[in-house]
Amino acid sequence: MNPASAGVFDKAKQDDRAALIGYLPAGFPTVDRSVEILQAMLDAGVDLLEVGLPYSDPLMDGPAIQDSVEMALAGGVTTSDVLDVISRLTTRPGQAIYVMSYWNPIERFGVQRFAEGLAAAGGCGVITPDLTPEEAGPWISATNAAGVDRTFLVAPSSSDARIGVVAEATTGFVYAASTMGVTGARDSVSDAAPVLVNRVRQFTDKPIGVGLGVSSGKQAASIAQYADGVIVGSAFIRRILDAQTFDAALAEIGEFTSELAEGVRGSARATDAPVGAAN
Query: What is the pLDDT, as a whole number, of residue 188?
Result: 52
* Residue 270 pLDDT > 90: no
pLDDT of residue 276: 36
Tell how many helices (H) and how many strands (E) occur in the chain. Answer: 12, 9
Mean residue pLDDT across the chain? 91
Query: What is the set of domains in the chain, with CATH numbers?
Result: 3-266 (3.20.20.70)
Distance, CA of 261 to CA of 216 (rounded, Å):
10
Question: Which of 158, 187, 188, 177 lies closest to 227, judged by CA?
Answer: 177
Q: Specify the higher pLDDT residue, 64 or 117.
A: 117
Angle of CA points 175, 30, 234, to nearest 5°: 35
Q: pLDDT by residue (tens digit) across 61-70?
A: 788 899 999 9
What is the model's pLDDT at position 213?
79
DSSP 8-state code for residue 221: H
- In this predicted structure, what is the pLDDT of residue 278? 34
Give the rounded percent of residues in the chain with a pLDDT score beyond 70.
90
- Lowest-confidence range among 76-85, 158-167, 188-197, 267-276? 267-276
Q: Which residues are catalytic?
A: 50, 61
Partners of 20 in the β-ladder: 230
pLDDT score of 60: 73
* pLDDT tens-digit readout, 230-266: 999 999 999 999 999 999 999 999 999 999 999 998 7
Give CA–CA dist 193/179, Å, rounded. Answer: 7
Find, among 68, 147, 60, the residue nearest to 103 by Cα: 60
- pLDDT number for residue 89: 98
| Least confident interval from 16-20, 131-135, 274-278 | 274-278
What is the predicted pLDDT for the residue at 273? 41
Query: Given this model, what pLDDT does residue 272 score?
Result: 44
Q: Say if residue 228's pLDDT is above 90.
A: yes
Over residues 70-89, the mean pLDDT reads 97
According to the model, what pLDDT value does residue 185 have? Answer: 44
Is residue 5 classed as helix, strand or coil in its secondary structure? helix
Under the banding of pLDDT at 50, 70 and 90, the label for residue 267 is low
Whole-number pLDDT of residue 209: 97
pLDDT of residue 178: 76
pLDDT tens profile 212-223: 678 899 999 999
Give Rg (Cα) of the chain.
17
Q: What is the mean pLDDT of residues 19-33?
A: 98
Run of H or E residues at 52:
strand 48-52
Residue type, 196: L
Rounded CA separation 52/149 (Å): 16
43-61 residue pLDDT tens: 999 999 999 999 988 677 7
